[in-house]
Amino acid sequence: MDKDKGGTLTAEEVYELLQLLGMKNVPLDDVRQMISETDKDRSGSVNFEEFLQARTHISSGMQTAGMAAA
């Protein structure tokens, strides 16, 4: 996932991962927007801590949406 082994994920790296996972309908611009919203230190990439925070936020949102649909 972290192709350059820099300890962070760029939008392009996340986009490539999504492509490998079969999520080919996600535009690169959407991935860039997601990275921008997640990138709290404004480094242009997401570090591990930011990734975990985003993952927790996404998981919580999915659970809330599932509860609302029930």
Domain boundaries, the chain: 8-69
- pLDDT for 53 equals 78
Contact 23, 34 (CB under 8 A): no
Report, as an integer, the average pLDDT of 9-13: 89
Domain 8-69 belongs to what architecture? Orthogonal Bundle (1.10)
Decide: residue 53, CB within 10 A, 0-12 exposed, 13-18 middle, 19+ buried.
middle
- Whether residue 64 is predicted with pLDDT greater than 70 in this model: the reply is no
CA dihedral 58→63→68→70, nearest 10 degrees, is: 140
The answer, as to whether pTM is greater than 0.75, is no
- pLDDT for 61 equals 52
pLDDT in tens, 13-53: 888 988 998 888 889 998 888 888 889 889 989 998 887 87
Contact 23, 15 (CB under 8 A): no
Q: Model confidence at 7, in pLDDT bands (50, 70, 90)?
A: confident
